[in-house]
Amino acid sequence: MRANREDILAYVRTVPQWEPRYADIRTPVVIVVGDADPFHPALQAGRLHREIGHSRLVVLPGTAHMIPDVRPEAVVEAVHMVLKHKQPS
């Protein structure tokens, strides 16, 4: 719980400095969010997806928070999406 709180506080402090640079991200990006997350990350996820034009947005139906814990297969699939994107054609 303490580590989670520290992560949240660090996030809140650093977001303003990084937000203007989201459009500069050039690496493959897959944004994964659950449609039942009580923290409403879809708002942030949608904005990130718009600002990182080449990103992919994956919305998991019936999924709440802590996606790596509750839907690890979705995280693995997101990693596969990134790897496929990076492979030479």
- Asked, for residue 1, whether it belongs to a domain, the answer is no
Tokens matching residue 55: 């990103």
- Asked, for residue 45, whether it belongs to a domain, the answer is yes
Burial class (CB in 10 A: 0-12, 13-18, 19+), 32: buried
Q: For residue range 3-36, what is the model confidence (pLDDT) as tens digits?
A: 878 887 887 788 888 889 999 999 999 999 999 9
- Asked, for residue 57, whether it belongs to a domain, the answer is yes
Residue type, 12: V
Domain total of the chain: 1
- Asked, for residue 74, whether it belongs to a domain, the answer is yes
Tokens 């991200």 -> residue: 25
Question: pTM of this prediction?
Answer: 0.78
What is the pLDDT, as a whole number, of residue 3?
A: 84
What range defines the domain where residue 30 resides? Answer: 25-86
- Asked, for residue 49, whether it belongs to a domain, the answer is yes
